[in-house]
Amino acid sequence: MTAADRGARVTALLSRVAMGDQNAFAEFYDLTASHLYGVAVRILKDAAAAEEILQEAYVNVWHHAGSYEVAKSQPMTWLTSIVRNRCLDQLRRREVDTVTLTSDDDDAPEYDISDDAMTPAEMLLAGAEARSVRDCVDALDAGPKQAIALAFYHGLSHSELASHMRQPLGTVKSWVRRALERLKDCLERAGMGR
Amino acid sequence: MNLSRPDRVARLDALAASYALGTLPGRARARLARIARTDTVVRSTIRAWEERLAPFADIAPPINPSPQVWRRIALRLGLDATRRVDRGPWWARVGFWRGFAVTSFVAALGLALALTQLAPTAEPIVVVLAGQDQQPALVATMERDSRTLTVKVVGGAPVPADRSLELWMLPQGAAPRSLGLVPSTGIGRLTLAEPPDVALANVPSLAVSLEQRGGSPTGAPQGPVLYTGRVEKLY
């Protein structure tokens, strides 16, 4: 089953789950659990914590499947983002709890978004549907590519990336920033080409 | 902050990218998430980044959770747990592996995690040792409540018959300390003198050197260092 087939199947199942269809929920679990668990356990490095997050996510899906907005995002993206964000929240919260943030805290958001609302026309959705991400990733240099892969799959922070890759913190930060910018530009170009 | 409007758009975009990737530090992360709950522009900027990065997650190898997970979910929701139709793992079906292009480093780490999953409550320490070519050669795992270090050979060059691979801790500001010999193929087990948290407290990385058969006679590495790996302390 390709990612697209799976997405279509998951969308169909979700609409049945929203109506309380237990069989659909079971099939939905079968179809998605090992994918979501892989995402969670790679970030948390902790089987019990990853299972906990998975349980919460599925309980939520059962209760809130109806509120999933099909038009706005792919269902697997939606699910994966929920799981990833909960894992990252947990990971980053642990850091705040246990470490005094110093060098890695200088990119905290300083600007206050609430006093400068943008119009919906400015929303940055242009590249959202592009699926040529692999080509765009391939085009990145080795260091930046590895940095964003480690951050994405394993939840490494900037300072962890720096120590893992034996590079200065500033280098790693600019690798990540530039890689994301390039990725976005590349995807937008690919999206416009359609 | 008194940024012009285009700067603010770019800044929001960078923050959303960092949030979606996961590198945004704790407080900044919590703050942006709080703002996103009420601000649709922030929310959709984050979502756009999640969409962009989604294919990364699509290509990562899946790992099966313990069957307990489904049972607990069913129990909590008052569902009939036996309804689950076992259709075989979906990832084994044709098509999923098409276009599979995740780096072998990530795959090896995923594999290591899958192996250590057998002890469901542990938080294993995983070290992937790789050579110059960045290809993983050995994966070392340690359960935190055990003094056993398990080494699995996943790649690397063949070891000549008259040589041995020796595993070293590389403590910060101190000489390498031998952990023992590792096999040239398969799985080996070494015993740590102390629990891993204590033994590795000041050890940012491990290394494997090629020594004479039976290991270095001097207690210090004599042969070339073939593989190194960072000790990830992410728990």
Using the Cβ of A115 and the Cβ atoms of chain B, whether some distance falls under 8 Å is answered with no
> What's the structural domain count of chain A?
2
Q: How high is the pLDDT of residue A52?
A: 94
Beta carbons of B56 and A23 less than 8 Å apart: no
Residue of chain B minimizing CA distance to A148: B21
User: pLDDT exceeding 90 applies to what percent of chain A?
Assistant: 29
Considering only CB atoms, which chain B residues are within 8 Å of A92? Answer: 24-26, 29-30
The answer to whether residues B153 and B206 belong to one domain is yes
Mean pLDDT for chain A? 75
Q: How many Å lie between the alpha carbon of A27 and the closest alpha carbon of chain B?
A: 7
What are the pLDDT digits (tens) for A118-132? Answer: 222 222 222 233 346
B235 within domain boundaries: no
Residues B53 and B154 in one domain: no
Q: Looking at residue A130, what is its pLDDT?
A: 38
Q: What is the mean pLDDT of residues A174-181?
A: 93
Considering the domain architecture, whether residues A91 and A131 belong to the same structural domain is answered as no
How many CB pairs lie under 8 A apart between chains A and B? 283
What ipTM did this prediction achieve? 0.77
CATH number of the domain enclosing A152: 1.10.10.10
Q: Which residue has the higher pLDDT, A135 or B225?
A: B225
Indicate which CATH number applies to the domain containing B153: 2.60.40
pTM of the model: 0.57
- Convert the pLDDT of each residue in B132-167 to its tens digit: 777 778 888 887 778 889 888 888 888 888 889 999
Domains held by chain B: number: 2
- Give one word for B99, left, alpha or beta, with left for phi > 0 and alpha for psi -120 to 50: left
Residue A51 confidence (pLDDT): 93
Residues A84 and A141 in one domain: no
Give, in order, the Cα–Cα distances in Å from B127 to each of A106, B204, B231: 29, 10, 5
Residues A94, A189, single domain; the answer is no
- Any domain includes B144: yes
pLDDT beyond 90 at B73: yes
Residue among B73, B80, B109 minimizing CB distance to A58 = B73
pLDDT at A122: 27
Say whether residue B120 is in contact with chain A using an 8 A CB cutoff. Answer: yes
Residue of A nearest to B13 (CA): A124
Indicate if B119 and B226 belong to the same structural domain. Answer: yes
**What is the pLDDT at residue B167?**
94
On average, the pLDDT of chain B sits at: 77
What SS3 string covers chain A?
CCHHHHHHHHHHHHHHHCCCCHHHHHHHHHHHHHHHHHHHHHHHCCHHHHHHHHHHHHHHHHHHHHHCCCCCCCHHHHHHHHHHHHHHHHHHHHHHHHCCCCHHHCCCCCCCHHHCCCCHHHCCCCCCCCCCHHHHHHCCCHHHHHHHHHHHHHCCCHHHHHHHHCCCHHHHHHHHHHHHHHHHHHHHHHHHCC
pLDDT over 70 percentage in chain B: 77
State the residue range of the domain holding B10: 5-59
- Answer yes or no: do B52 and B117 share one domain: no
φ, ψ (nearest 5 deg) of residue B197: -60, -35
> Is there a domain that residue A41 lies in?
yes
Q: Render the burial of B41-78: b for 16+ CB within 10 Å, e for the rest.
A: bbbbbbbbbbbbbbbbbbbbbbbebeeebbebbbeeee
Q: How far is A160 from chain B (nearest CA, A)?
A: 8
B19 falls within a domain: yes
Question: Chain B residue with minimal CA distance to A146?
Answer: B103
Expressed as residue numbers, the domain containing A83 is 1-100
Q: For the segment A69-120, what is each residue's pLDDT rounded down to a tens digit?
A: 654 567 888 889 999 999 999 988 877 555 443 334 444 333 332 322 322 2
- Residues comprising chain B, all counted: 235
Claim to verify: residue A94 and residue A11 sit in the same structural domain: yes
A121 — contact with chain B (CB < 8 Å)? no
In a domain, B94, yes or no: no
Which range has highest mean pLDDT (A179-183, B84-88, B158-162, B202-206)? A179-183
Tell whether A1 and A96 lie within a shared domain.
Answer: yes
Please tell me whether residues A74 and A29 are part of one structural domain.
Answer: yes
Residue of A nearest to B17 (CA): A180
